[in-house]
Amino acid sequence: MTTAREEILGRILAAKDNPAASSVDAVAPRSDRGPSVRPVVATPVIDTFRRNAIANGFGFSEAPSNTDIVATVKAALVENGAGTDITIAQSLAHIGWPNDWTIHWGMGRRIEHVCINTAVAAIAETGSIVFGSSSRSPASLNYLPDLEIALLSKSDILAHPEDVWRTLREMHGASATTWPRAVNVVSGASRTADIAGILVRPAHGPKHVHIILTP
Amino acid sequence: MTVLLDTFQQRSSHALHDARLQASLRGLSTGFVVRRADAVAAFADFEELRRQGQAIKDHALEHLDRYLLEFEANVQRTGGEVHWARDAAEARNIIRDLCRKANARTVTKGKSMVSEEIALNEALLADGLEVIETDAGEYIVQLAGEAPSHIVMPTVHKTTEQISDLFFEHHKRYGFHKRETDAAKLIAQVRTVMRDKYFAADVGITGANFLIAETGSIVLVTNEGNGDLTSTLARTHIVTVGIEKVVPTLDDASTLLRLLARSALGMDITSYTSFITGPKRPGDIDGPEAFHVVLIDNGRTKMLSGAYRSMLRCIRCGACMNHCPVYMSVGGHSYGWVYPGPMGAVLTPMIDGHETAKDLPHACTLNGKCQQVCPVKIPLPDLLRRLRHEQWEAHFISKTARFGISAWALLAKRPRLYHAMTSLIMPVLARCGRGKGAFKWLPLASGWTASRDLPSPEGRTFQAQWKRRQR
């Protein structure tokens, strides 16, 4: 009996302009098909990113050095009226967080006021931050809190999404099993206009996203 | 979902007299259309972007076997499974079986037009599962027992008051006893209800905007974050997707994403774009334990092999319906099935056959606007004309309409006769319409004049006036 897979692939082959020619080995690689048209990103890229991220509604601050990260996070918490019961990604365990905070190191919980995670990259074109899930950077932290704080290294800000893919390919290889389970591109707060077209923030995810630039 | 297209005329007539729907549709035309135009104008070379989007989709469709196999191999490499379904029934059975194997009781769903196409919810509910749509709009129409009326804005036909009534009726069991009429408070209820569902879900089902062959990733685009929570927190993630959604690379998807957000919402990008590749990795502390992709044909290979291949380029942005005078007059439910507007008028007969979708190709003024705004340049008016022709050839046109069209053709092919008859009729109509400006009623044409006026003619035919001016 023909399986569905065989039958569907058979129909696809029969639909080809030249059905005899399987295209498995006959496709030009993407690089041969010319560069994609994309918006020009003004340099310095960091300025374009900052402008577009703020336009997306992100909060924005900068830690001048790694020793300033805790103080910058504290200021962001105050700015957003948030408490100190926080879930922090394991990727940030090396930072000396205050002892009087209630810190949870697991995946996101049902009720989350604040989560802190590390962004692996940022895209200046759209003012987006990019997270790559791993055991040390759970994806649920990006969607469950009321306030998400993302730590982003300045050197990880790239012009276009294509630059992010190139970087990830260099790190992981496109089809390697180390490729992150989830690459989450976040470009604004969670929102919906499904009730009479009225824009409401948040829907299911964070109401506020705050980016802290690190060296 | 049951196809009810034989009632298109009754549905559209009802819609035209629904004042609330008409007000909602007016809002849609002034919102989406203006925002899209602004976003397109702000992009330096949107025409070239459209050309590239079309080229990517054409290339992927011509080499569909290669890219589906590459996608499948990469999903398997990361620990996921790929299933192939010839039709809706086979797809439903695969997913029901996966739910049984997962011992599922609660199923959360992200927005998926394909799952509507294969009538998945009905099948899962019949199996005794709790099925919850998590997109706010889809959840609202699920509570109302309705179908989405727009592929991007499923609730475009519903007012705040109607949604308030729905939540008041259905949310008491979640502890909400006060009737809310404020949109933010209503959405806050949805957020609270869904949090428990996300964590309780045994299976999370989402669609996919694109499939990436080079990595075996599925791409989810949302503004709410519901698809991400569905795919992250359920124990098993099942993706329902048409075979035409595969593209070669992440770069190709980036080009199409630039087109999608601008065409659908007039935005550069949506709040969340997620690239999901397989189940949780060893050591991961969240993510599903199992990851399944169900690749669905359901008429798509039939389109691939014929004159309708270009329809498979569709990236489901909804721009065609936002710019369609027919959709904007009658709304999505008039189309009677999952896909409304110009894209639905082509897709529905292709998936479900001419017999049930016979009115849809005629629900078009052929003004060409849909083709002008389509991000991947689908020649929708040409496809609709072709469908009309096929219907004519297959005798799906009613006897009355065939007689009328044949009579018209007989006249139109004989210019002298045509001219003689119109020269006789025009002065009569002009005399009858003198002082009125327009006819509000005409014998044998009351159906036509019920919803529009016929301007009364000047008295002479265009050709007669032209000849006179030439002298």
Question: What pLDDT does A153 receive?
Answer: 98
Are B333 and B293 found together in one domain? no
Interface contact A23-B65, CB threshold 8 A: yes
* Cross-chain residue pair A191–B137, CB shorter than 8 Å: no
Q: Are B241 and B218 in contact (CB under 8 A)?
A: yes
Q: What is the rounded CA–CA span in Å between residue B261 and residue B17?
A: 32
CATH number, position B111: 3.40.50.10420
Q: Which of B208, B273, B235, B204 is nearest to B71 (CA)?
A: B208
Residue-level pLDDT at B278: 97
Q: Quick count: other Cβ atoms within 10 Å of Cβ A74?
A: 13
End-of-domain residue from the set B338, B364, B399: B399
- DSSP for B245-256, please give it: GEES-HHHHHHH
C-alpha to C-alpha distances, B132 to A68, B105, B230, B292, nearest whole angstrom: 44, 11, 10, 19
Question: Torsion angle of alpha carbons A128, A134, A140, A145, nearest 10°?
Answer: -60
Tell me if B327 sits within 8 A of B318, measured CB to CB.
Answer: no
- Looking at the domain assignment, is residue A172 inside a domain? yes
Share of chain B above pLDDT 70, in %: 98
Residue B51 maps to a domain: yes
Residue B386: which pLDDT band, with cuts at 50, 70 and 90? very high
The residue segments making up the domain with residue B390 are: 314-399
CA separation for the pair B315, B335 (Å, rounded) = 19
A106-121 mean pLDDT: 97
Q: Tell me the pLDDT band of B5, cut-offs 50, 70 and 90.
A: very low
For residue range B265-317, list pLDDT tens digits in order.
999 999 999 999 999 999 999 999 999 999 999 999 999 998 999 999 999 99
Is the pLDDT at B415 greater than 60, yes or no?
yes
The pLDDT tens digits for A142-188 are 999 999 999 999 999 999 999 999 999 999 987 677 899 999 999 99
Cis peptide before A202 (omega within 30 of 0): yes
Chain B's closest residue to A136, CA to CA, is B284
Contact call for residues A127 and A73 (beta carbons, < 8 A): no
Whether B68 and B120 map to the same domain: the answer is yes
Q: Assign B31 a pLDDT band (cuts: 50, 70, 90).
A: confident
Backbone phi and psi for residue B30, each to the nearest 5 degrees, phi listed first: -85, -15
pLDDT at B26 over 90: no
- For residues B343 and B459, state if they share a domain: no
Of residues B420 and A19, more confidence is placed in B420
Query: Is A133 a domain residue?
Result: yes
Closest Cα in chain A, distance from residue B318 (Å): 15
Q: Is the confidence at residue A80, as pLDDT, over 80?
A: yes
Chain B closest-CA separation from residue A183 CA (Å) = 5
- Contact indicator for B134, B140 with CB cutoff of 8 Å: no
Shared-domain flag, residues B333 and B358: yes
Q: Given a cut of 70, is residue A33 above it in pLDDT?
A: no
Residue recorded with tokens 């105050």: A78
CA atoms of B468 and B470, how far apart (whole Å): 5
Of A3, A17, A184, the CB nearest to B228: A184
Answer yes or no: are the C-beta atoms of B319 and B264 closer than 8 Å: yes
Cβ contact (<8 Å) for A11 and B301? yes
Domain count within chain B: 3
Mean pLDDT of A198-204: 95
Average pLDDT value for chain B = 92
- Tell me the whole-structure pTM to 2 decimals: 0.93
Q: Are strands B81-85 and B290-296 parallel, antiparallel or unpaired?
A: parallel
Asked if residue A9 is part of any domain, the answer here is no
Q: B137 and A139 in contact by Cβ < 8 A? A: no
Residue B25 belongs to some domain of the structure: no
Sign of CA pseudo-dihedral A16, A20, A25, A28: negative
Indicate the pLDDT class of residue B3, thresholds 50, 70 and 90: very low
User: Helix, strand, coil proportions of chain B in percent (round to 5)?
Assistant: 55, 10, 35
pLDDT, mean of residues B63-77: 96
Q: How many residues does chain B have?
A: 471
For residue A62, give the CATH number of its domain: 3.40.50.10420
Whole-number pLDDT of residue B446: 77
Instruction: Write down the pLDDT at residue A25.
Output: 54
B321/B225 same-domain check: no
Strand (E) or helix (H) holding A182:
strand A182-186
Q: Which domain holds residue A100?
A: 38-214
Same domain, B59 and B158: yes
Query: Do B369 and B464 lie in a common domain?
Result: no
Q: Which of B2-11, B151-160, B379-388 has the lowest mean pLDDT?
A: B2-11
In a domain, residue B10? The reply is no
Per the structure, the count of domains in chain A is: 1
Residue B401: the pLDDT is: 83
Report yes or no on A17 lying in a domain: no
Per-residue model confidence (pLDDT) at position B1: 43
Q: Where are the alpha helices (DSSP H) in B43-159?
A: 46-62, 64-77, 88-101, 113-117, 120-126, 136-144
Max mean pLDDT range (B319-323, B416-420, B457-461): B319-323
| Mean local confidence (pLDDT), A109-114 | 97
